[in-house]
Amino acid sequence: MSLINEARHTYLGHITRRHFLKSAGAGLGAMAFASLGTASAVAPSAPGPHFAPKAKRVIFLHMAGGPSQLELFDYKPDLARLDGQDCPESLLEGKRFAFIRGIPKMLGPQASFQQHGESGAWISNHLPHLGRVVDKIAFLKAMHTDEFNHAPAQLLVHSGSPRLGRPSMGSWVTYGLGSENENLPAFVVLLSGGVAPDAGASVYGSGFLPTVYQGVQCRTKGDPVLFLGDPDGVPRSLRRKTIDAINSINQQQHEEVGDPEILTRISQYEMAFRMQTSVPEAMDISREPSYIHELYGTEPGETAFSNNCLLARRLVERGVRFVQLFHWGWDSHGAGESESLDGGFLHRCRETDRPVTALLTDIDQRGLLEETLVIWGGEFGRTPMLENRSGSDNPYVGRDHHSDVYTMWMAGGGIQGGITHGETDEIGYSAVSGRVHVHDLQATILHLLGFDHERLTYPFQGRDFRLTDVHGHVVHKVLA
């Protein structure tokens, strides 16, 4: 036996029965690939929705750091009357906080509030624009999570688990529905605020799903995708021949070993080639008329949340399935000016209020809102108590992480606008009705996209996994 044949025999001897069955299924994909007679991309086929969807696409606006609901949406005049008083011990017993130690002081709202729209929703003066579209929004006032630190809480929101290795929500959605545009990624990620999310790229990774479903990070300054352009001296015709040669080798390897990830690799090479033309066009907001730039407050060529909101609209109207915006800087501990409720927090509000309002207005005017689900929120909320780790002489004010209650909102895509679901107590510390867990939010999002969250599964390590793990209930009261 030759050394090559001996090595191949050893490799095949280690293939398990499960791997064989998985490879056999992939072999059918290879047969389909060969029957096309081209080097077209071959991605795993999408399971498709279980029932008629209300939404076809998602824009998820994640305010990384945990924005304070008490300065934005959860109006608590009783908390103002308690400002500066010692926190009752009943609120501290048996509770874990990230930084609060001893007996903190209560902290009244650092904003004024006014009712808006026919719904009469309370919105703070920090968001003067959002009140114009409040009747399109359903507020979830009693959200809660299991985690009180940033990275685990972000992972739980986006992957259904506080630990690394699970597919993100965008990956699950694109796995289930596939893409509407073969020239653009189905799942695009846009970052602003100068820093990536605490959990890193895992919050938009594909986990154990094929890598074709992972989020593709695009930039608003410089090349939209790193290394997307051809090197100097390499014409597009040569790039086409190069990719054809690489994919021919990949196809031969797939026929030999049957690894389904090789088909994903072929698909990714083809997508990258098409993206060289499609992505620069889609990401070029300078093509927009002046009134659109005025609406969003955009400046072409800059890295800004406003630019990302406009890009989100451009992407969904071109068939991108899931657009994830992360805006960093909402961690308002009060340890310094940039983290204070009267400093950095105000900057974050000014950076996001106008673009978010513009996004809802724009996609509604274009007839896209009815089939586009827009979600806003962070990984947790903030306490009604003052964070006290910096001492009594700290000139800045802030709140600690709070996992028991916080506010998120949804609009479009089958959501009933102009309503509030859930209520907190008189100081915004605990929920008194309408509690919604992170897994309930995920189940509701999948439901709007046409999925029974218990049936959208993927086999891995001997069992079927799903986004909602073994939890989750659809929040039917917010559905149109």
Residue range 375-390, pLDDT digits in tens: 999 999 999 999 988 7
Half-sphere exposure of 3 (CA within 13 A, CB side): 0
Q: What is the gyration radius of the CA atoms in the chain, in angstroms?
A: 24
**Sequence-distant (≥ 6) Cβ neighbours of residue 290 within 8 angstroms:** none
pLDDT for the residue numbered 220: 67
Instruction: Give the type of residue at 463.
Output: R
Q: Are 187 and 212 in contact (CB under 8 A)?
A: no
Residue predicted with more confidence, 106 or 302: 106
> What are 385-434's pLDDT values in tens digits?
999 887 778 899 999 999 999 999 999 999 999 999 999 999 999 999 99
Closest CA to 387 of 335, 329, 464: 335
Torsional class of 25: left (φ above 0), alpha (ψ -120 to 50), beta (otherwise): alpha
What is the rounded average pLDDT of the residues 78-85?
96
Closest CA to 212 of 372, 346, 46: 46
Confidence label for 42 from pLDDT (cuts 50, 70 and 90): very low
The helix (run of H) or strand (run of E) holding residue 144 is strand 137-144
pLDDT for the residue numbered 245: 82
The mean-pLDDT minimum among 162-171, 222-231, 399-408 falls in 222-231
Per cent of the chain over pLDDT 90 is 70
pLDDT for the residue numbered 258: 78
What is the rounded average pLDDT of the residues 110-126?
98
**C-beta atoms surrounding 102 within 10 Å:** 9
pLDDT for the residue numbered 247: 79
pLDDT for the residue numbered 293: 97
All structural domains of the chain, each given as residue ranges with its CATH number in brackets, are 53-231+279-478 (3.40.720.10)
**Residues found in the chain:** 480
What is the rounded average pLDDT of the residues 259-271?
72
Confidence label for 302 from pLDDT (cuts 50, 70 and 90): confident
Average pLDDT for the chain = 88
Residue predicted with more confidence, 223 or 443: 443
Please state, in angstroms and rounded to a whole number, the distance separating the CA atoms of residues 349 and 209.
36
